[in-house]
Amino acid sequence: MCEVETGVQILQRISSRLTSNVKCLDSNLFPDGGPAKGEMVEIVGESNCGKSILVLELIAKIILPTDCGGHALGAVFVNCDNNINMIRLLNVMEKQIVNCSSPANRSVERQEIHNIREESLARLSIIKCCTLDEFEFSMLTLSDIFIKNPLNVYLLIDSIVAFYWNKCTEKNLIRMDTYVKSLHNRLKKLSQERKVIIIFTRPSYFGSGRESIQGEFAGPNEGPPVTQTSSATGGTSLMTTSTAGSSLSLPIEHRIELGEVTTQTPSDDRKFNAFVYSKGTQLIKFYIIDRYGINWLN
């Protein structure tokens, strides 16, 4: 049976997403605000640097209520790498509920934490893709999902290249940069047409982070470490990501490059850094990872 909607109902759904307030997803990563609707965020890094955990942190920020430091918005999460542990998501949500609940320093009971998590998870849709066919089908249905659910403002994908090796076969050879560019273009079209924010992860071997930032956006090993944000250049300038060492350039509004900090003295706690590149700004943040997610050190 087909669904019938009036023009007024369609307008109300579209207007709901356009007016949903998104000022700053996470001040640790976007101190000047953002990302804005229609923009994309790329999270890049080696294995075990916290890409999937950072996705959980952002999901919690999106779906938790405003009095718990969240935005009370909807999100669609496409889980391709199967690296997401739902128990860990609950732990991340608990950390944010306890640390960010208002008024500050109030005691939060276990039952209240349970109720807040249950209410918040109702705003999260999870699509688990175990095969290339499931992923392709999900990509085809995403537009309809956002049309029907105006409160869904975010799309998160972990990882965008999970099924590359299934797509690239002996009879169907595909360059890494070609594959990434194709997916990127499809996602960019979705983000702009549906006014949604798209966040995706990608392993660093699908492109060198040192070559991904052009012009004023110098990579972490191309100059002295950046310890604070630079002044914004204004407008909607984009950075470009070059993949697999090729000349391919993709417009990316925000890019987060994760890596482990190597030290001369051994330590029980692994320390990581996040180089964050946004429109006209760049900064570096340090963090550690524990059972409750990411702990920012500065």
Q: What is the pLDDT of residue 104?
A: 65
Q: What is the pLDDT of residue 233?
A: 35
Instruction: Kindly report, residue by residue over 112-149, the tens digit of the pLDDT.
Output: 999 999 999 999 999 999 999 999 999 999 999 999 88
Domains and their CATH numbers in the chain: 33-296 (3.40.50.300)
Q: What is the pLDDT of residue 105?
A: 66
Q: What is the pLDDT of residue 4?
A: 53
Q: What is the pLDDT of residue 272?
A: 93
Q: How far is CA 146 from CA 129, 143, 163, 276, in A?
A: 18, 5, 23, 28
Which residues of the chain fall below pLDDT 50? 1, 8-9, 11-13, 208-237, 242-248
Q: What's the predicted TM-score (pTM) here? A: 0.79
Instruction: Kindly report, residue by residue over 281-290, the tens digit of the pLDDT.
Output: 889 999 999 8
pLDDT, mean over the chain: 78
